[in-house]
Amino acid sequence: MTLPFRSLYRHGFVRAVLCAPVLALAHPRANAEATVAMARDADGDGAAVVLFPEMGMCGYSSEDLLLQAALLDAVDAAVAAVARETAALRPLIMIGAPLRLGHSVFNTAVVLHRGRVLGVVPKSFLPNYREFYEKRQIAPAAAAPAREIRVAGQLAPFGTDLVFAATDVADFVAHVEICEDLWAPNPPSIAGALAGATVLCNMSGSPITVGKGADRRLLCDAQSRRAIAAYLYTAAGQGESTTDLAWDGHLFGYEYGELLGEAPRFAPGASTLSVDIDVERLVQERRRVGTFRDGAMAAPAAFRTVEFALDPPAGQLPLRRLIPRFPYVPDAPQRLDEDCFETWNIQVAGLLTRLRATGLQRLVIGVSGGLDSTQALIVAARTVDRLGLPRSNIIGVTMPGFATSDGTRAAAWALMQGLGVDAREVDIRPLCTQMLRDIGHPGAPQYDVTFENVQAGLRTDVLFRLANHSGGLVVGTGDLSEAALGWCTYGVGDHMSHYNPNASLPKTLIQHMIRWAIATKRFDAEVCAVLETVLSTEISPELVPAGEDGVAQSTQAVIGPYALQDFHLFYTLRWGFRPSKVAFLAETAWGDSARGNWPRGVEPEAYDLAEIKRWLAVFLRRFFATSQFKRSATPNGPKISSGGSLSPRGDWRAPSDSLADAWLEELESGVP
């Protein structure tokens, strides 16, 4: 089945709905009716899996009632009713029920699909401490006398060695464990993940005490990271007995350490939470992380895979999940501050270590008045501060050329003077004029690549010869975005240096690093005012004079908006997604300007799908086909984030002769 472009199921996502019904304690028929009603709503919402709490057919707090034959008979009838009444529904439905097998009662998760009992998973670890006395009524999974169970008139697989795999939705494989299983030293979900499960489900009774909500989040977060999986959690809510305990109906989900959503706790009635899970992302990461594969090879037990056909919704189903417009810049203020602090210190630590290793005490940096050289200069300033060296040990050089504006030249001088570095100016125009004449180039107005690169090359010569003369180290200024797009001249300024602290910083993060330096008052008011000016300046190489219309050379008019291209870079480099999925995510993030989230309240423009497709094609050509030879010869510089770097010695090893056709063809065929 071919799904429409705007269906989340087409792009490797599945929707899960977590439910906390109002329980009718020890009344299975009523609980079955509530379960069916919520399952129908979830089906209408396009869900692939619906998860209910532990013992949801009768109540976790049933205690010794679990040894009453009448209640257990009613539970079996309730499971049969849920199976029968949900036979026409799409999603996998997981319900909690106490079931008899052999000489014991087991606390189980019953997994249903279209009226069929796909399997029954018993609880492995039974709490029997403080307020818990489960072993009084319940047997652990290890005591199971058989690998099958008859329930709701059907014979179904029974055991903790079950995963449930959709045959028609790639990478959607589910595993379920029950409450205390997660708190054990060896949770069953680890084995489930190693067996291929991408969606780990926990149906929990879990009464609430102060601080326990935070404990649950920590455990589920960690489990999702360790297992490279989604981890979904449901806890019992209203209706459980409050004889000695209370219940909060906690519903939340994590995906590889990212909180997908959390429902309000202590809801007065039934509660649900819908989350969209990127199962393709999880599988991509597992392929990348060899440790996961090694763990799977060492896993001792074989699992049984129960297959089912989901038949995902055929119509459009937009992604509800908020996709950040700026994936390199976290939305949460505290996380953003922490990331900026770490970024700043990684840059400083890298440059400081290199300076110590060389035995040099001077830094040489070209200062243009633009974003990249500004960030590199303030990092250099902090580096010499930490070394106890005077800032005059930094030689800052502004090198006006044929198109240098008064504004950027003034900003460069103001920044160097404000920071107290050894500020110098070398006018490269006479040198450029001579070189153009020597190679037979007519000069202005023939504004070709030679005209531009003569300026870039001579600036580099000045910096390296000045470093030789002064006993200094040339600090690079080129950034990750420029490296990805090949927007740098081979072997010169923004490409070559002795050490480049900006090497792994995308343009959008550099912009915010400068904002962060202002907001946290890393420098005095005079310097911060210059930083504000730099942020408001049009991004331009300033190599070609403005035309008769007065419009200056614009980088983003040629290679695309950096904000959008950084988005494309992140999902291509970090996750290896197909171009059509990158476009789908970009439209989700950028198609509606009201959903944007940009630090300090600055709201950028939105982009429609046609614009996204156009600039993504530019990105793919430049990234895969024309720029690798430049990245293969880049100077050292520290990796900044898990978003990746383009160092040929680190995150990205690729041939310089590759073609972009496969990516461009997928984009053309996959995006309307």
CATH code, domain with 664: 3.40.50.620
CB-based contact 421:394 (threshold 8 Å): yes
Q: For 614-637, what is the mean pLDDT?
A: 96
Which pLDDT value is given to residue 547? 76
Indicate the Cα dihedral angle 559, 565, 571, 574, nearest 10°. Answer: 80
Region 87-94: mean pLDDT is: 98
- Which residues, including other chains, have CB under 8 Å from residue 613's CB and lie 6 or more apart? 583, 667, 671
488: tokens are: 């740098």
> What tens digit of pLDDT does each residue of 169-212 get?
999 999 999 999 999 999 999 999 999 999 999 999 988 989 99
pLDDT value of residue 604: 60
Q: Which two tokens stand for residue 155?
A: 């014979």
- Residues 303 and 342 placed together within one structural domain of the fold: no
339 pLDDT tier (thresholds 50, 70, 90): very high
Q: What is the mean pLDDT of residues 253-282?
A: 96
| Per-residue CA distances from 114 to 8, 16, 82, 87 (Å) | 22, 16, 10, 4
Asked whether residue 128 falls in the same domain as residue 230, the answer is yes
Query: Residue 286's closest CA among 168, 164, 176, 194?
Result: 194
Beta-bridged to residue 253, according to DSSP, are 232, 261
DSSP letters, 358-424, are HT--EEEEE--SSHHHHHHHHHHHHHHHHTT--GGGEEEEE---TT--HHHHHHHHHHHHHHT-EEE
Is the pLDDT at 578 greater than 80? The verdict is yes
Whether residue 314 has pLDDT greater than 60: yes
Same domain, 71 and 130: yes
Are 286 and 389 within one domain?
A: no
pLDDT per residue as tens digits for the range 442-462: 999 999 999 999 999 999 999
Q: How do strand 472-474 and strand 362-366 relate by DSSP bridges?
A: parallel
pTM: 0.94
Phi first, then psi: give them for residue 492, nearest 5 degrees: -130, -170
3-class SS letters over 430-492: HHHHHHHHHCCCCCCCCCCHHHHHHHHHHHHHHHHHHHHHHCEEEECCCCHHHHHHCCCCCCC
What DSSP assignment string belongs to 524-560?
-HHHHHHHHHHHTSPP----S---TT-PPP-HHHHH-
The reply to whether 404 and 274 lie within a common domain is no
Confidence of residue 132 (pLDDT cuts 50, 70, 90): confident
How do strand 304-308 and strand 362-366 relate by DSSP bridges? unpaired
Does the pLDDT value for residue 321 go beyond 60?
Answer: yes
Residue-wise pLDDT tens digits, 9-23: 999 999 999 999 999
Instruction: Look at residue 315 and tell me if it is in a domain.
Output: no
Residue 319: inside a domain:
no
Does residue 355 lie within any of the structural domains?
Answer: yes
Residue 6 domain-assigned?
no
Asked whether residue 594 carries a pLDDT value surpassing 50, the answer given is: no
The tokens of 212 are what?
């326990």
Whole-angstrom distance, CA of residue 245 vs CA of residue 241: 7
Q: Is residue 161 part of a domain?
A: yes
Average the pLDDT over 574-596 and give the result: 86
CA contacts within 13 A on the Cβ side of 637: 36
Alpha-carbon torsion (582, 584, 586, 589), positive or negative = negative
How many Cβ atoms are within 10 Å of 548's Cβ, its own excluded? 5
Q: How confident is the model at residue 595 (pLDDT cuts 50, 70, 90)?
A: very low
Dist CA 259 CA 333 (whole Å): 15
- pLDDT tens digits, 641-662: 888 899 999 889 999 999 999 9
Nearest to 667 by CA among 602, 606, 623, 634: 623
| DSSP-derived 3-state class of residue 45 | coil
**362-372 pLDDT, tens per residue?**
999 999 999 99
Residue 3 lies in a domain: no
Residue 157 burial (C-beta neighbours within 10 Å; 0-12, 13-18, 19+)? middle
Sheet containing 173-178: give its strands across: 258-262, 251-255, 230-235, 199-204, 173-178, 162-166, 304-308
Whether 494 and 610 map to the same domain: the answer is: yes
By DSSP bridging, strand 251-255 and strand 258-262 are antiparallel
The answer to whether residue 550 scores a pLDDT higher than 80 is: no
Per the structure, how many domains does the chain have? 2
What is the predicted pLDDT for the residue at 549?
64
Q: Going by C-beta distance under 8 Å and a sequence separation of 6 or more, which residues neighbour residue 203?
A: 51, 52, 53, 54, 56, 94, 95, 96, 109, 176, 178, 179, 234
Q: Which 3 state secondary structure label does DSSP give 309?
A: coil
Catalytic residue list: 54, 123, 179
Does residue 593 register a pLDDT over 50?
no
Residue 592's pLDDT is what?
A: 67
318 occurs within a structural domain: no
AA identity, residue 500: N
**How far apart are the C-alpha atoms of 503 and 483, rounded to whole Å?**
8
Instruction: Give the CATH number, domain containing residue 106.
Output: 3.60.110.10
- How far is residue 112's CA from residue 51's CA, in Å, rounded to a whole number? 11
- Could you read off the pLDDT of 248-264 as tens digits, one per residue? 999 999 999 999 999 99
pLDDT at position 597:
47
Q: Report the alpha-carbon distance of residue 173 to residue 296 in Å, rounded.
A: 15
Q: What pLDDT score was predicted for residue 81?
A: 98
304 & 337 share domain: no
Residue 20 backbone dihedrals phi, psi, to 5 degrees: -130, 90
The answer to whether the beta carbons of residues 130 and 91 sit under 8 Å apart is: no
Does some domain include residue 634? yes
Q: Which residue has the tokens 């972009």?
A: 660
Domain around 47: 14-308
Work out the mean pLDDT of the chain and round it to a whole number.
94
Q: Give the mean pLDDT of 626-643.
A: 93
Q: What is the pLDDT of residue 596?
A: 45
Rounded Cα gap, residues 247 and 586, in angstroms: 40
Q: What does each C-alpha distance from 638 to 380, 627, 645 come to in angstroms?
A: 14, 20, 9
Considering only residues 618 and 641, tell me which one the structure prediction assigns the higher pLDDT.
618
Q: Position of tokens 């830094």?
A: 363
* 159 and 44 in a common domain: yes
Q: Are residues 231 and 295 in the same domain?
A: yes
254 in the same domain as 212? yes
**Pair (544, 622) in one structural domain:** yes
Give backbone dihedrals phi and psi of 177, rounded to 5 degrees, phi first. Answer: -130, 170
Do residues 380 and 303 share a domain? Answer: no
* pLDDT tier, 600 (very low <50, low <70, confident <90, very high otherwise): very low
